[in-house]
Amino acid sequence: MKGKTVLVTGATDGIGKATALQLAGLGARVIVHGRSADRIQRVVGEISEAKGIPAEGLQADFSSIACVRDCGAEILKRFSRLDVLVHNAGVFEADRRLTVDGFESTFAVNHLAPFLLTHAVLDLLRQSAPARIVLVSSITHVNSACDFNNLQGEKSYDGRKAYSLSKLANALFTVELAQRLRGSGITVNCLHPGVIATKLLRAGFGNMSAASTARGAETSVYLSSSQEVEGVSGKYFVNRQEADPSPLVHNVAFRSRLWQLTELYVGIPAGHYGEANGRPS
């Protein structure tokens, strides 16, 4: 990974922090994203001290569409290349909570933010190709239903179902984006990190027997760095092995409908995903 620049979102604790540390250990220049400036600096310092490689910090609140847009603009301003984008940031909300933009928080942070940030930096990834996009989904997506009339929990809300839906959206986005980027030199894959001892797990599912965050980072690191998956795209992985995703992932019309709705939600004109400012460049 020497000479590679990698952005890990949600990298100030848990699986994201472990992912950042492991990728830095492989020689990558890591960009640490988080919401708290203090926590970002602590992780940046820890990486620099432990791995002997300077790291960078990137602060943004992914519950805000404007902040995600600003984050994308800052990346383009500060960095001349981006080889790997790891979408790790995620939340679990036991009770329905709306963002400043009026979206259900889990759906906004876990799906809308990765969709919009990828759009914002896609040209930079193209310029850096071969490049990789990695999304941390969850095995819970496999049994998730998707009611397009209740994406925001408008009719009813259950925290676990909302989380699973957001992870299904990650898997649908992975496959649809991989199809759209064929021949670009950019691969897109998603994964289940395992049942890992994180704050999110405890918040959503209580105290369970769980593996370490270092173990939870292994598949993210594998998909970010391994030559074994060079050129592999549009797949779902568990324990560094390709696995079967939800059958909904293979439904082209279903994927397309979610894509179109998401473009509408985040303000990207139809047909202009990945273009500068959402318009032809």
Burial of residue 39 (CB within 10 Å: 0-12, 13-18, 19+) is middle
Q: Please tell me the number of Cα atoms within 13 Å of 58 on its side-chain side.
A: 29
C-alpha distances (whole Å) from 258 to each of 64, 173, 233, 273 are: 20, 8, 20, 14
Structure tokens at 110: 């876990």
Q: How many CB atoms lie within 10 A of CB 180?
A: 14
Find, among 88, 81, 64, the residue nearest to 12 by Cα: 88
Active site amino acids: 163
Structure tokens at 147: 């009611």
